[in-house]
Structures are given as structure tokens and as C-alpha cells.
Structure 1
Amino acid sequence: MKLKRFLLRYYPPGIILEYETNAELKQKTIDLLDLTVETDVEVLLNRIVRQEPLITESKRPHVRKLLYKLIEKQDCQESQQFYLFKILRAHILPLTNCAFNKNGDKFITGSYDRTCKVWNTLTGEELLTLEGHKNVVYAIAFNNPYGDKVITGSFDKTCKVWNSETGELYHTLRGHATEIVCLSFNPQGSIISTGSMDNTAKLWDTETGVELCTLIGHTAEIVSLSFNQTGDKLITGSFDHTTKLWDVRSGRCIHTFQGHRGEISSCQFDWEGGKCITGSIDRTCKLWDVKSGQCINTLRGHSDEILDVSFNATGSRLVTASADGTARVYNTMTGACVSILVGHEGEISKVCFNPQGTKIITASSDKTCHIWSSDTGECLQILEGHIDEIFSCAFNYEGDTIITGSKDNTCRIWKC
């Protein structure tokens, strides 16, 4: 085995080793999920050199530099304020969703006007309008980390696969009996999953547009789905009060996560894929062990429906957003509530961490987004200006740009 080069993964932190063995190029990753600004670099370096045979003593200085670079990326100043960079009169009808590509230089918006638009984040210029759906474009996604394709799921029962550079339509995926409300690429970009109000999810081959299988078993609408990082498993959250874990290769249901007393609103895998979370209108969030299918913890405290849940990049913390106007941050390992984010005057429909895990953004029906410290729960900034409900918000990969999408037909770009 011969080490060819190092690659860095900033969020969550890790070093990827590209090496050659038997004339074949391969990769292995050293995950550094516990890396913080307080990490003792020399202790960590010694451990890496001791445990990884590809990293010899001669590589020690280079790896030291990489570790310092990773630490620098994890250090996000709480004092940084975001300013309004652009207001985009994005669509002629309300927006449904927005999403960044991996490096954050582009983002997409979906709308009730039946289109998806591709935007240049740096200039605010509209690059493409993806037209062809016959009803609301509700769910949208890039094939990150590549970013050369976009998928759009519509109330017209179809999903379309597009070239994000040219706007060319590659495929129209037909087969669902009712509206498509959630979708995702697997992390490898080779498979697309769609979830529908027809109680099924489907898996599709990205290249050919051919349906691979239909995931049957839910007895009500599927409203949320998530792939694990290796792309071999999928979870689907349903209004039937359950979340199902599926084997992607066979389409077989591995586990049904049961225990919620209300509809599932959101579900997500953690980075390592060993755990997943489910938020429900029963006011609780449950943490599940993926291997056993058992509930590890039930996180309580909200006084109204939980509308969104999200892990941070490393999976060490999670956040829940509720119709009670608050969000709550929990320690994944202990289930302890770390902080309660209080300040919105309306329900919170969307919540996410910045890539560094130091900040949280919440989108609310009170027409504002709040930025919070994930450690203290302090409100660091309020993003104001939208004149109707904000239901979509996202950080870019660096954490220095935010997009907010509103029912006022506009999208706003905020920079720090």
C-alpha cells in the first residue's frame, strides 16, 4: 500500500487517505468527530501515527498542519453578525423549499408556481428556471457533494432529474399514485428516493431513471426520509406514527420504529449511521438504535407538536423545533436538554445547525429567522424583513451564508 495524497473533510472533521494497492486507487477515512479548538494536537497526532500504518513518521509534520487547519475551521466566532446581501423576487407564487449545493456557490428554490430555480449565491443572479412540472414543486435537492444534478418532486406525482449546469431534463420518474412530498439522493448520488402521499417510497437509478423498487408497508403518507452516509439504508417517517428502516439493496424493511402516539413529522440519521431521530406531533422526539431497532431515549419538554428535528454534523447533539414557538437542544448520548431556544412569537417549522455545530437557525411563522448559540441558547441575531411566514432556511457548507425562503414569494441571502 502506498499513500498518494491527503484530503480534508471539514464537517464533520476528518482526514481522507487516498492510497494505491495492487494498482488500484482506494480511500479510507480517519474520522475526528471529537475534534474541537481545545484538542491537544500532539496527543491526537501521536494516536493517529500509532494507529494508522499508512501515516509514517515522515508524514507527521504534514498531518500536524492538517489538524491545525481542521481546528481552525471548527472555530466559528459567535460574534459574527449576518447582514442582508440580496432580496430575490424569486417566484410569482410562494416558495416551498430551498437548498445549497456542497460548496455553497449555488442554491435552488422550489415554488407553488410549478418551477425550480437555480441561483448564483455570490451574485444573486438567476441561472436557470427548471420548467415542466404540472403542479407545485414541493421537494428539491442537489446530488451533493457533486452538485451537477437537481431533483424536483411535485404534487403532479412525478420527480424530475435535471442537469444543474444546463437545465437539461434527464428523466421524469413516474409511478407514484399521489403527490411526492419528500426526496433525497443517496450520498453517492447513484440512487434517488422519493416519498409520497400514496403511503410508499420508491428507489430509482439516477443514471437510467429506472425504478429499482417500491418500499411498501406504511399505512399512511410518507412525509420524511433520510439515507445513511454509506447509502445502504434508508428511513421513512409516516403519518401512520411509525418510521421504517429499509435495506436499499433489497428493498426489505429491516425494522419498524414504533412508539410515537402521533404522526411523524421529521426523521434523520446521525453521521455514523448508528442512530436516528424521529420528531412527532405527539410532542416528543425519539432516539433510536439502528442496529437493534430499539428506542434509546424519548426526549420530552415541548408543549406542542414537533415539526422538525436535526443532528449536528458529528451527531453529538440534536435540535427539535416545535409549534410551541421554541426549539430545544439535547445531548445525544445522555438525552439531557442542553438549552431551550425561546424568543419566537410563532411556530418553528425548520431548524438546523451550522456546519461547525456552534450555531442554530430557526425559521418561524412570525416572519423571522433567529440565530442561536447552540451551547447557551442565547439568541445571537434576528433576521428580519420577510413579510410572511418563513418555512425554509439553510446554512452553506462554510457556515458564512444563510438563505431564507418565505411565503412572501422572496428568498433572502444573508452573509457574514
Structure 2
Amino acid sequence: FCWRSEMKLKRFLLRYYPPGIILEYEKGGALKTKSIDLLDLSPETDTEELISAIRKSEPLITASRVDQVKLLIVRLQEKLGQQDNRRFCLFKALQAHILPLTNVAFNKSGSSFITGSYDRTCKIWDTASGEELHTLEGHRNVVYAIAFNNPYGDKIATGSFDKTCRLWSVETGKCFHTFRGHTAEIVCLAFNPQSTLVATGSMDTTAKLWDIQTGEEVSTLTVSQLSLSLSVSLSLSLISHLSFPLISTCSHNHPCPHPFVNDFIQRVHTLIGHRGEISSVQFNWDCSLIITGSMDKSCRVWEAASGKCMATLAGHEDEVLDVCFDYTGQLIATASADGTARVYSAVSYQCISRLESHEGEISKICFNAQGSRVLTASADKTARLWDVQSGVCLQVLEGHTDEIFSSAFNYEGDTIITGSKDNTCRIWR
């Protein structure tokens, strides 16, 4: 009875960002998938050596499949080798809300996006036309945290200063559930990959898990006030990457109604080293590394498996307000209240480039999917596009009349959304 005979490869799916090949196979009558992540792939990678290494670790790649795999790798290399000299033009300026925007977010395909606002609403927009599709009304205070349940994109979660989270239908704009239980503002949220759970983080020093189907609370994760931002964000990041969170313990006052989930909730590590409040935290693609940005003016890189601090990235002259990895986890970007941003290697921890020309603090930073460009949003009323390697400012996106709180690339990297304190959002293409 051969293990390989149980599994039958049906087809390959290509993933450009980060580069990888998805194997769709049949096992025991059920269709399943697994991925071959090629995070170190470059146009110069020796395809023969790579295929040999893949075959050693993946039994589904038999001799008869080698030519197919080679063609897929070459396609990925061609995609990685494409030059991106795109300049963005203002496509639409939308008078989105009657009060300042808090956050913006794309669905996976980039066909639509959402905006949250101090006016207590979240709005769904069509990216191609700039048309407002739905206004999600019901919150009684600022709508601060917003998210699609990507990659599905059929539901939206909104977290508010009214201490509730709401789950909405993208198609109809109707509210499925209102999640009640937090005793202070909800400041962050995330879906798990299967879109069965949503996690909310609150200033009441707890994160809560909610069942999307029933609307019931699954568990409460308790954190300390001092490390609220770090602990909540780690909990939510793990929800985004894993089937179950592995970061904090259930509250004794709020037992978990789902014992199976409770079995998996445990504290893994406490990351100690920063001397100031944690402002931002993120995992890399394979969850092997964590980066944290802090009010102590530094960013730290941690090994997720051991909790060990691998490096402290210093150099900013003021608080680090946002941090992020690129899709492959090879690069790290930091944004600071000193008006500058930096790009570091996640391998050598050396500074690759310094992004200097903003005239106000930088509150948000993100890479495009290709990892060749960085987008920054600033209090100087501009968003700026930068070349990762040289640090040259390629374009200034201007026109907002007040601070830009949030900005985002779509998955393909050919559309940008900016959201501002001036009550508007802008689509750049």
C-alpha cells in the first residue's frame, strides 16, 4: 500500500505574489491543495537545480510532470523580471464621507474597496467606476477597523469605537451579525483564512474570536495594557495565517464555548525588548519571522519559533509608526514620525535605502506585490511612491487637502487608494 498511490495530482495553479505553485490533488476522494513556495526565486535562479530540489521534497512531482513545472517556473521568472515604470494618475477623487476617513482596504481582486470613517459608516466602492455600491450604517461611533474576508471577498467586518464589530454582506450591504462583548473601542480586526472566524482587538486589553455563522463569541484572549498593541496584533496576525490562534490564553471570566478551539489557544512567546509602546506588528509570509515597530524609535525582528530577537533596526529619530514585510518576506519597511521611511534586508538586516522627502510624519507604509515599490502616506497631505533599491522618490501623489491616514495597493500593483482627513478618498491608476 503506497502513500503516493493515494494521491493523484489534478492540476497546477500559478501564484505570482509571492511566487509559488499550487498543487491541486485528489486524496481519498476529496480534492485538496498544497503550495510550493518559491520565496527565493529570481530571474537568475537555476531552474534545473530548483526542480531537482522540488522533486526531492514533493512526491507529487513525478518525472512526467517535470516539463510542466519547468514552464511554470520560467513564467514566474519572467513575471519577476518585468520592469515596472508605471506612473499613477488621479482617476477619481471621491467625496467619500462627511467626516475624515480612518482606513481603506481592497478586496483580493481589487475590483472593489472599502472606506471607514469618523462619520460612523463604512462604504463599499467599485474601483473601476468609482461608484458607491453600499453604505454600511448602524455603528454609533467611529468606524476604525475594516477588512474584507479575502480571498473570498463576500463579507466585510467593521470594528468601531462603539465597542462592537459588525459583519456585512458585500452583495447586499445587509448586516449579518453585531458582535457585542468588548468594553472599550475596537481598534483592529482580522478574518482567518477559511473565513469561519473573525478576531477583534480592543482597548479593553482583550482580543475576541467570533463565529461568523452563528455570531457567537468563541473565546476571549487576554493581554496586558502595556503590550496591548503587540499582543492583539499578534493574535490577529496568527488568525490570518493559521486555522487557530496560538498566542494568548482564554479569560477565566469568559470560558471558551468551543472546546476544540480552546485546546489550541495557548501563549507561545512573550517578546520582550522594546522600551516603548508597540505601534505595529506583522508576520512574514511563512510566519517564520515577526517585525515590531515601537515608540522607542526602533524596529525589531523576531524568530517566531523561539521568540528570540534576531535584530534591532535602529536609525529613526522619532517613533516608528508602521512596519511591513514585502510579499516574499525578503524586505522590511519602516515608517516614522521623523518624516522618513527605510527599507531593510530581512536576511542581512542591513539598511538598503532611506526614503527622505516627506515634510510630516509617515503613518502608513506598504510594498507593492512585486516588492519593487514602496507607498507611504503622510501628514504632509501627500502619498509618495519610492523605488525600493535606490530610495528615489518616483512620484508624489498630491491633491488631498489634509493628512493622509491610510493608503493601499491592489494585488496587481496597478491601482492605489488613499484616504484622508479631508473626508475624501482618491483612486490612482
TM-score range for the pair, normalised by the shorter chain length: over 0.9
Of 202, 213, 216, the residue aligned with 2:208 is 202
| Aligned residue number for residue 385 of structure 2 | 371
Which whole-Å CA distance do the structure 1 matches of 2:246 and 2:19 have between them? 24
Amino acid corresponding to residue 245 of structure 2 in structure 1: K
Pick which of 178-187 and 300-309 moved more.
Answer: 178-187
Normalized against structure 1, the TM-score is what?
0.93
Query: Does the alignment pair 1:321 with 2:304?
Result: no
Q: Deviations over 1:312-354 (max 9, x none)?
A: 1011111110000000111112211111111100000000010
Q: Does 1:232 align with 2:244?
A: yes
Q: Deviations over 1:245-271 (max 9, x none)?
A: xx9854322221111111110011111
> How far apart in 2 are the matches of 1:204 and 1:412?
33
Query: 1:233–1:248: 8 Å Cα contact kept in structure 2?
Result: no
Contact 1:159 1:172 in 2 (8 A): yes
Q: Does 1:72 align with 2:82?
A: no
1:60 is matched with which residue?
66
1:270 maps to amino acid: N
Matches within 5 A, 1:32-51: 32-51=38-57
C-alpha separation in 1, matches of 2:354 and 2:171: 41
**More helix by percentage:** 2
Aligned with 1:333 (options 318, 341, 347)? 347
User: What is the CA–CA distance in structure 2 between the aligned matches of 1:196 and 1:23, rounded to whole Å?
Assistant: 43
Quick check: 1:14 aligned with 2:20? yes
Q: Identify which range, 171-180 or 6-15, moves more after superposition.
A: 6-15
Task: Look up the equivalent residue of 1:412 and give its one-letter code.
Answer: R
Q: Deviations over 1:132-154 (max 9, x none)?
A: 00111000000111101100000
Give the secondary structure class of the aligned counterpart of 2:181: coil
User: Could you list the runs of 5+ residues in structure 2 that have no partner in the other structure?
Assistant: 1-6, 249-260
Q: CA RMSD in A?
A: 1.7
Q: 1:105 aligns with which of 101, 104, 111?
A: 111
- Number of aligned pairs? 405
Report deviation, 1:43.
3.4
1:139 is aligned, of 130, 142, 145, to 145
1:267 counterpart (272, 278, 281): 281
Map 1:179-328 onto structure 2 (within 5 A).
Answer: 179-220=185-226, 222-223=228-229, 225=233, 226-228=236-238, 229-233=241-245, 250-328=264-342
Secondary structure of the structure 2 residue equivalent to 1:257: coil
SS at match of 2:53: helix
Return closer, same or farther for 1:76/1:248 CA change in 2, 3 Å cut-off: farther
Aligned residue for 1:382, secondary structure, equals strand
TM-score w.r.t. length of structure 2: 0.91
Q: 1 CA distance for matches of 2:305 and 2:335?
A: 26
Cα distance, 1:120 vs structure 2 = 0.6
Q: Residues of 2 paired with 1:358 and 1:90: CA distance?
A: 30
SS at match of 2:146: strand
Q: 1:151 to 1:76 in 2, by over 3 A?
A: farther
| SS in structure 1 at match of 2:269 | strand
**Cα distance in 2 for residues equivalent to 1:235 and 1:390:** 32
Cα displacement (A) at 1:82: 0.9
Letter matched to residue 141 of structure 1: A
Matched-pair contact (CA < 8 Å) for 2:246–2:265: no
Separation in 2, partners of 1:194, 1:3? 38
Deviations 1:77-124 (A, max 9, x none): 342111111111111111000000001101000001110001111111
- Matched residue SS, 2:50: helix
Q: Residue 91 of structure 1 is aligned with which of 92, 97, 100? A: 97
C-alpha separation between the residues in 2 aligned to 1:141 and 1:221? 23
Q: Which amino acid aligns with 1:278?
A: T
Code of the residue aligned with 2:76 in structure 1: it is L
CA contact (8 A) 1:196 1:221 kept: no
Counterpart in the other structure of 2:409: 395
Change (3 A) 1:328 1:249: farther
CA-to-aligned-CA distance 1:224-253 (integer Å, 9 cap, x gap):
6142422433669xxxxxxxxxx9854322
Shift of the alpha carbon at 1:37? 2.5
Contact 1:231 1:248 in 2 (8 A): no
1:214, 1:251 within 8 Å by CA — same for their partners in 2?
Answer: no
Residue 221 (structure 1) shift: 7.4
Deviates more, 1:158-167 or 1:183-192: 183-192
> How far apart in 2 are the matches of 1:107 and 1:76?
27
Q: Which has the higher strand share?
A: 1
Per-residue CA shift, 1:146-176, capped at 9, x if unaligned?
Answer: 1011000000000000111111211100000
